[in-house]
Structure 1
Amino acid sequence: MSVRSLSATLALSAALLGVGVPTASARPSVYDLPGDAGGSKFEGIGYDAHTQRYYVSETTGGEIHRGNLRSAAATEWLQGDGTDGRWTARGVTVDARGRVYVAGGPNGIDHSGAPDLWVYDRDGRLLAALRTGVPNAFLNDLVIGPDGAAYVTNSNAAQVFRVSETRGRWSIRSWVDATATIPVTTGFNLGGIVLSPDRRALVVAQGNVGKLWRFDLRTGAVSAIDAGGADLVNADGLVQDGRRLWVVRNFSRVLSTLDLSADGRKARLVSATPTDPSRVLTTAKLAQGRLLLVDSKFDEPTAVPPYQVITLNPPRR
């Protein structure tokens, strides 16, 4: 086969898969992450639309890596291994002022008295290191609400925390405890979190049982979202764009596309697209029309490079 024919074949295959083919002027279709010699694993991703930078958390050490959409490789932005009391990290999000929020997962469980969450400015200056004061809190994922506060899920309880700042003083508190409504079972419970299309509620995934829950931002009322019996087991990261909801189903290796009602009370399955069987994708962010998805390496006892964020043109139907 000629070089020209091979290039055409690769381009067609990539188009069918929805994966971009990099050219000299295009954005990379895969971003490389730094890692440790002994193996690194990853989970969360945040995106700053103003600077076109993305941030990825490393669970094995708590490092935070940062990259630019135009560059093929990220660099270590924040050290881990105890830096600011952080030995591991999970969800990451960025607010309108470019402040980076990092959820600590089991950081406060594994290291008594250590923070559960951190906030940094764009220059990497620590603004806050917060403890929930709640035993066994596993802070998983975050979303910025219309009020400017961050809302954070607890995977070990039916609980959402609220992180806010007033005149430079930061606080974290239990916002809603839904123990009476959401049965907690073995495994990871509440995880991915986004806003409803009308921005009046939170949509939260309970991955171990494959359910979606609605948290009303005004009243705190919690109710099950009617997803029409869609299989959402292993739901991890959520991405919302208008009435479209993408559900990253890690070990199921599926990206489910749903249509949400404006108020987030109902969801209809549009498609369930298999993802790369050699990767366990945990979560994603939408950046300039593409999904940036974290390859966690969770399926490897000892992770080996390459460590990567992959891109997909998201299914729309």
Structure 2
Amino acid sequence: MTFRSRRIVVLAAVLALSAVALPAVAAPPEQVEASRRARVTPLPGAQVFPESIAIDPRTGVYYVGSVKEGTIFRGKVGSGQVEVFSPAGADGRDIANGLALRGDTLVVLSRQSGVIRSYDTRSGTLLSTVDNGLGSSGTFLNDLTIAPDGSAYVTDSINPWLYRITWHGRQMRLEKFMDFTGTPVVYVRAPGAAGINLNGIVSSADGRYLVVSKRNENALYRITLPGKQVSRVTVPAGVLETQDGLFLRGQTLYAAQNLPENVVALRLTYDFSAATPVHTYTDPNYMFPTAVAVHGRWMLVISSQFDSLGSPAAVSGTEPPELPFRVTTTGAGGPGKARNPTSGP
């Protein structure tokens, strides 16, 4: 039986609502096996390789992008189904990775192209396009966050820069906001995953801080605005490993982690300078997870399967991806707090 075949067996067991508690991790957070009540929402297509998720806190409507085809899907927490919001290739878009919502505007990154597009979520109409001008080999736009003032901040995984998007009406304006040269964030130039530096990013509710993930260092950094001071977030050793997409709710930070195939929840201090692990969420459906979002009592996790054959990412594998690609919904609480997501939000 192959590795992927074993995963299929495990998945079948999950969908039959039978689960086995996993052994506790060595790190302080309490490990939560949520698969007994996991709900899987399939993403149609054999080459989706989803990477990011943006969720509307008002409605629970969410958007997921395909890195390999550029399709943007739309679903709703509790529905169990998605629809195509924007098809592959629309507006010249063949990559849709970082996604974020700014009211009724969906902002979409297309990483190596350096192009950023925005869409009206009500009509699907393309509103604006900006380009950092670095071409297909000189940039890697990874993730973005919308700050309380409406501006957006964008990470570049291979250039030591943080971009900012501002709006004039519904038109975007892109600028290089800061250079990390000379700060504690030291970029590494290397082939493959070793050269993926900053990726996930979130903004505090008051707009004072940004927290960014540095994948190839298993670290988090705090950026204090508007002074642009950078400092490393203190996290116990061994808690973070290839963390990717981040989601912030209050002082709780959720991080999707690629290789451990889990989501770790950390409690941040009031000034975002330190983080204490709270829970580690695991599920057999988590296959190289790259993004996480929380709505109400539900947690949604995107499994990119970038470690499989045909991956468009910096890592790949020899086994084909397990179909369908999926969004996994589980309870976002601790032990005993997960509820059945089939009942809706």
Range into which the TM-score falls when normalised by the shorter chain: 0.7 to 0.9
1:183 partner amino acid: V
How far apart are residue 157 of structure 1 and its match?
A: 2.0
Partner of 2:187: 184
CA separation of 1:315/1:249 partners in 2, compared to 1, >3 Å: closer, same or farther? farther
Whole-angstrom CA distance in 1 between matches of 2:53 and 2:211: 18
Whole-angstrom CA distance in 2 between matches of 1:222 and 1:313: 34
How far apart are residue 269 of structure 1 and its match?
A: 2.4
Q: Given that residues 241 and 259 in structure 2 are in contact (C-alpha distance below 8 angstroms), is that contact kept between their aligned partners in structure 1?
A: no
Partner of 1:86: 93
Verify: 1:126 aligned to 2:126, yes or no: yes
Matched residue of 1:199: which SS?
coil
Whole-angstrom CA distance in 2 between matches of 1:287 and 1:35: 26
User: Could you state the TM-score of these two structures normalised by the residue count of structure 1?
Assistant: 0.84
User: Could you state the TM-score of these two structures normalised by the residue count of structure 2?
Assistant: 0.78
Whole-angstrom CA distance in 2 between matches of 1:137 and 1:12: 42
Whole-angstrom CA distance in 2 between matches of 1:134 and 1:278: 34
RMSD: 2.4
Whole-angstrom CA distance in 2 between matches of 1:70 and 1:255: 20
Structure 1 residues 14-38: Cα deviation after superposition (integer angstroms, max 9, x where no partner): 9x733474xxxxxx822111214xx
Select which of 95, 106, 113 maps to 1:107: 113
CA separation of 1:292/1:274 partners in 2, compared to 1, >3 Å: closer, same or farther? closer
Q: Given that residues 192 and 205 in structure 1 are in contact (C-alpha distance below 8 angstroms), is that contact kept between their aligned partners in structure 2?
A: yes
Partner of 1:24: none
Whole-angstrom CA distance in 2 between matches of 1:13 and 1:240: 29
Partner of 1:18: 34
Select which of 258, 268, 274 maps to 1:266: 274
Within-5 A mapping of 1:228-243 = 228-243=236-251
Whole-angstrom CA distance in 2 between matches of 1:311 and 1:149: 29
Select which of 302, 309, 312 maps to 2:330: 312
1:86 partner amino acid: R
Verify: 1:169 aligned to 2:176, yes or no: no
Q: Given that residues 19 and 36 in structure 2 are in contact (C-alpha distance below 8 angstroms), is that contact kept between their aligned partners in structure 1?
A: no
Verify: 1:30 aligned to 2:36, yes or no: no
1:260 partner amino acid: L
Aligned length: 292
Partner of 2:201: 193
2:118 partner amino acid: V
2:163 partner amino acid: F
Matched residue of 1:251: which SS?
coil
Name structure 2 gaps, 5 residues minimum: 1-12, 22-31, 310-319, 336-345
